[in-house]
Amino acid sequence: MIKYILKRLLGMIPVLIGVTILSFAIINLAPGKFSTLDQAMNPKVSPEYQMRLTKAFNLDKPLPVRYLLWLKNSVSFDFGRSFIDNRRIADKIAERIPVTLGINILSLLFVFLVAIPVGIKAATQAGRAFDTVTTYFAFFLLAVPTFWLALLMMQFFCIQLGWLPISGIHSLDFEYFTPWHKIWDVSWHLILPVFVSSVGGLAVISRYMRSSILEALSQPYIYTARAKGLPYRKVVYKHALRNALLPIVTLVGLSIPGLLGGSVIFESIFALPGLGQLFFQAVMSRDIPLIMAEVVLGAVLTITGNLIADISYAYVDPRIRYK
Amino acid sequence: MLVVFLFLAVLPARAQDRGDAIVSASIADARNLLPMLASDSASAEVSGMIFNGLVKYDKDLNLVGDLAETWEILDGGLIIVFHLRKNVLWQDGHLFTAHDVEFTYQKMIDPDVRTPYGGDFERVKSLEVIDDYTVKVTYKEPFAPGLASWGMSIIPKHLLEGRDLNTTDFSRKPVGTGPYALKNWKVQEKIELKANGSYFEHRPYIDRTVTRIIPDESTIFLELQTQGIDSAGLTPLQFSRQTDTAFFKKHFRKFRLPGFNYTYMGYNLSNPKFSDKRVRAALDLAVDKREIIDVVLLGFGVISTGPFVPQSWAYNRSVLPAAFDPQKARKLLAEAGWKDANSDGWLEKGGQAFEFTLVTNQGNEQRQKTAEIIQRRLRDIGIRVKIKVVEWSVFLSEYIDRKNFEAILLGWSVSREPDIYDIWYSAKTKQGEFNFIGYRNDEVDKLLIEGRRIFDQAERQKIYHKIHEIIHDDQPYMFLYTLESLSLLHNRFREVKPAPAGIGYNFIDWWVPKAEQKYRIMP
């Protein structure tokens, strides 16, 4: 197994290089130029300044040279400095991780805690009232645009009822709160964002779980279990569930890259300082070092996510062995 | 009795209470609080509270002293001598002196410092420190806009000497001479400033300012409805309808102030379609600006007639917008050879139909709607307009830089200093320069140069009035509208007095009575 993992890890290298060459080329060949939105149309800003920046950022060198320069620094985990504010890329990304990762983990937990029981119940009561209602509800959640749902919920819970804060993750005077008050304050601010970011997942995972259980329940070993007189609950939760959870394990692995993927729309609406906004702004202003760092981050997470899914698959399903 | 009377007379009518905070929202985070490197408006807004320049604009848009107490202009404008304020302290307790001014100047012209604002300072021949509180600036030739350029924030020599300004962490931990000092900056979340107790004018009455970063405008509006933020800019629709409720009337005061901007349709003057002045004049007659203002801005704007705004002394009031007159437009076009020869409803000349593409940038709904109205109005006189909306960065690199457009719909922010050399001078057409429409008028060129050499405002006024008149007559742009600045502010703040400069000019005098104060934590 260790040999297998090592082989997979080594295999990551060419994939990563390929991904970065492709992305570097695409970013640089796309129309548009590095610009900070405001300075671009300020008559006080001379063309010499633009040229000075072009030189400072090596944008005057040929593309392959720039890629190799970038690659050389990146292998030692130096992703350079942002064009926009000259700060280290690593710092800029690190300070955004807690919010994005935190919300994504919470919403992933919330999704599994709610969607799995709902899916099981819907499967065991297939065709009856609970199943029908949750089915309709799931499709509604899938179809509803999150930004719209977020605004409606803000209007209702924050303005009409006044129960929850509208935006941000801290109250204004957060620094002066006691530790317990701080935890309370952050949780309070997270309720709406975590719920809204879970909506899509809730719908998908509950449907997945339902069909997975249904399929398991039609297997011969279930008939055996029923025939030997086991109670229905035990059949479902012990025999069917174990097999039905296998595809869910894959889904967990595949959601790993998503853990660090923020959504711009969602983060903008709730004014959350997450990675989604950071990368969106990077793309809009053609901040190449930041975009490249994002590409690498995304690629590494996707590849490791797949690897983890495969490994855990072997772990939960004794029929699968990797060599 | 007399003593008591005198005593009462010198007391202000009512003592201003200290305390409270003002919370505002910004759609973008500041990038760099080292003023000479900051090119975004969010940074400029925050660093403007932390730093001072030598001069500033007062409420009536006149240049007055800030860190400089007075100044003299000698040798017909070749020399400016600044007499600095004494006993001004940096926020770390060091004394501010002429050496800080010298240091700032040296950094402004240092080719290694990535400042976008060096241009005005390259015209300086030398800067001498006469003594700790006197600075003598000698220009290569008289340069009137140079005076206003000394509004550039002065930075502390004792903290920055020998440091690389491009990467210094001073940009995230600034120390200035201004009324507020940075207290806490949480990236993409909020920027908090606290009152500077030793500020040289007087300690501001409001203890704290908090700028929350909220990128979504609908969220900002929802926050207003819970009084989570105290001030915000408004769209015309929000100003006229959505804030017209009992709640907003009770808690907020709305401000409608003249704007420092204009929106225009610019023609590529090297394109044969637009090189004939009669054609440009005809297009101007065919578009009803009042209609655009009423429909797109819901009335919150004025018709623009030239490169200045009405509240500026450079604006020539005798230049009037052309009345909407499609008939006359058709006649002018016919004179220029554009006729509907084959009666298909579209104008032609030499077998070529009159059609052009109007390009504007994505993300500005007002411009897109304006483009549609222009399209409709020009269709009425037989001109086919295609509208193309492109992303800003692509717009700049593929259309503006390469001058690859027929017509563009854009806007300019108008600065307080009326020098518009960079936009209208005939040689400013290189890539990255701002006369991208290729305007050329020898008289305007001459006047633009003259306007930079003369310091006397009455004399300069004549020059800029003439420029306004000529440019309006030439119609290199179709001048469309100036959008008013619409905002609201929580009504607990006192001493807020709108003036031509807006409302922020006397922010350090704003105060909130103790009983109405909302944020009570002391910084």
Alpha carbon separation from A227 to A213, A220, A240 (Å, rounded): 19, 10, 15
Asked whether the beta carbons of residue B219 and residue A95 sit closer than 8 angstroms, the reply is: no
Tokens 């920055």: give the residue.
B160
Asked whether the beta carbons of residue B219 and residue A37 sit closer than 8 angstroms, the reply is: no
Q: Chain B: nearest CA to A51, how far in angstroms?
A: 9
By C-alpha distance, the chain A residue nearest B229 is A172
> Which of A32, A43, A267 has the CB atom closest to B393's CB atom?
A32
Asked whether the beta carbons of residue A33 and residue B119 sit closer than 8 angstroms, the reply is: no
According to the model, what pLDDT value does residue A171 have? 86
According to the model, what pLDDT value does residue B6 have? 46
Asked whether the beta carbons of residue B391 and residue A46 sit closer than 8 angstroms, the reply is: no
Q: Residue B217: what residue type?
A: E
Contacts with B188 from chain A: Cβ below 8 Å:
96, 273, 277-278
Mean pLDDT, chain A, as a whole number?
86
Instruction: With beta carbons less than 8 A apart as the criterion, state whether A35 and A282 touch.
Output: no
Asked whether the beta carbons of residue B40 and residue A32 sit closer than 8 angstroms, the reply is: no
pLDDT above 70 for A322: no
What is the average pLDDT across A187-201? Answer: 91
Q: Residue B177: what residue type?
A: T
Select from B164, B188, B218, B429 the residue whose CB has the most chain A CBs within 10 Å, as the one to mutate to test that interface. Answer: B188
> Which of B212, B226, B410 has the CB atom closest to A271's CB atom?
B212
Task: Report the distance separating Cα A156 and Cα A164, nearest Å.
Answer: 10
> Which of B41, B187, B212 has the CB atom closest to A168's CB atom?
B212
Task: Report the distance separating Cα B229 and Cα B25, nearest Å.
Answer: 7
Contacts with B519 from chain A: Cβ below 8 Å:
172-173
Provide the pLDDT confidence category of residue A251 given band limits of 50, 70 and 90.
Answer: confident
Select from B216, B412, B433, B435 the residue whose CB has the most chain A CBs within 10 Å, as the one to mutate to test that interface. Answer: B216
Contacts with B37 from chain A: Cβ below 8 Å:
86
> Which of A95, A166, A169 has the CB atom closest to B223's CB atom?
A166
Q: Chain A: nearest CA to B53, how far in angstroms?
A: 17
Contacts with A271 from chain B: Cβ below 8 Å:
189, 212-216, 219
Select from B27, B168, B189 the residue whose CB has the most chain A CBs within 10 Å, as the one to mutate to test that interface. Answer: B189
In terms of C-beta density within 10 A (0-12 exposed, 13-18 middle, 19 or more buried), how is residue B231 classed?
Answer: buried
By C-alpha distance, the chain A residue nearest B432 is A47
Provide the pLDDT confidence category of residue A323 given band limits of 50, 70 and 90.
Answer: low
Contacts with A158 from chain B: Cβ below 8 Å:
222, 226
Residue-wise pLDDT for B60-78, tens only, equals 999 999 999 999 999 989 9
Residue-wise pLDDT for B500-513, tens only, equals 889 999 999 999 99
Q: Chain B: nearest CA to A93, how far in angstroms?
A: 11
Residue-wise pLDDT for A50-102, tens only, equals 888 888 888 888 889 999 989 888 888 888 888 888 889 999 999 999 999 99
The terminus-to-terminus CA distance of chain B in angstroms comes to 42
Task: Report the distance separating Cα A227 and Cα B381, nearest Å.
Answer: 86
According to the model, what pLDDT value does residue A36 have? 58
Instruction: With beta carbons less than 8 A apart as the criterion, state whether A89 and A293 touch.
Output: yes
Asked whether the beta carbons of residue A49 and residue B116 sit closer than 8 angstroms, the reply is: yes
Contacts with A168 from chain B: Cβ below 8 Å:
189-190, 212, 214
Q: Is the dihedral of CA A49, A50, A53, A58 positive or negative?
A: negative
Instruction: With beta carbons less than 8 A apart as the criterion, state whether B177 and B155 touch.
Output: no
Where are any strands of DSSP class E within B157-207?
A: 180-186, 190-195
Alpha carbon separation from B179 to A233, B46, B196 (Å, rounded): 71, 11, 5
By C-alpha distance, the chain A residue nearest B390 is A32
pLDDT in tens, chain B (523 residues): 444 444 444 445 558 899 999 999 998 899 899 999 887 888 999 999 999 999 999 999 999 999 999 999 999 899 999 999 999 999 999 999 999 999 999 999 998 898 888 889 999 999 999 999 999 999 999 999 999 999 999 999 999 999 999 989 999 999 999 999 999 999 999 999 999 999 999 999 999 999 999 999 899 999 999 999 999 999 999 999 999 999 999 999 999 999 999 999 999 999 999 999 999 999 999 999 999 999 999 999 999 999 999 999 999 999 999 999 999 999 999 999 999 988 888 999 988 999 999 999 998 999 999 999 999 999 999 999 999 999 888 898 889 988 999 999 999 999 889 999 999 999 999 888 899 999 999 999 999 999 999 999 999 999 999 999 999 999 999 999 999 999 999 999 999 999 988 999 999 999 999 999 998 876 5
The whole-angstrom distance between residue A20's C-alpha and the CA centroid of its chain comes to 20
Contacts with A49 from chain B: Cβ below 8 Å:
114-116, 118
3-state secondary structure B40-68: CHHHHHHHHHHCCCCEEECCCCCEEECCE
By C-alpha distance, the chain A residue nearest B399 is A32
- At residue A147, the 3 state secondary structure works out as helix
Provide the pLDDT confidence category of residue A35 given band limits of 50, 70 and 90.
Answer: low
Region label for B182, one of left (φ > 0), alpha (ψ between -120 and 50) or beta (otherwise): beta
According to the model, what pLDDT value does residue A57 have? 85
Task: Give me A25's structure tokens.
Answer: 């080329």
pTM for the predicted model, two decimal places: 0.87
Asked whether the beta carbons of residue A41 and residue B119 sit closer than 8 angstroms, the reply is: no
B114 closest CA partner among A84, A150, A277, A274:
A84
Instruction: With beta carbons less than 8 A apart as the criterion, state whether A119 and A205 touch.
Output: yes
Task: Report the distance separating Cα B3 and Cα A222, nearest Å.
Answer: 104
Instruction: With beta carbons less than 8 A apart as the criterion, state whether B88 and B132 touch.
Output: no
Tokens 């307080």: give the residue.
B416
B366 closest CA partner among B477, B242, B232, B264:
B264
Q: Chain A: nearest CA to B129, how far in angstroms?
A: 26
According to the model, what pLDDT value does residue B359 have? 96
Task: Give me B294's structure tokens.
Answer: 């009423």
Asked whether the beta carbons of residue B167 and residue A40 sit closer than 8 angstroms, the reply is: no
pLDDT above 70 for A168: yes
According to the model, what pLDDT value does residue B7 have? 47
- H or E element that contains A15: helix A2-29
By C-alpha distance, the chain B residue nearest A92 is B187
DSSP state of B111: T
Asked whether the beta carbons of residue A43 and residue B225 sit closer than 8 angstroms, the reply is: no
Buried b (16+ CB within 10 A) or exposed e, B283-307: bbbbbbbeebbeebbeebbbbbbbb
According to the model, what pLDDT value does residue A234 have? 84
According to the model, what pLDDT value does residue A54 have? 83
Task: Give me B262's structure tokens.
Answer: 């204009």
Q: Chain A: nearest CA to B141, how far in angstroms?
A: 19
According to the model, what pLDDT value does residue B454 have? 93
According to the model, what pLDDT value does residue A177 have? 85
According to the model, what pLDDT value does residue B5 have? 47
Asked whether the beta carbons of residue B167 and residue A81 sit closer than 8 angstroms, the reply is: yes
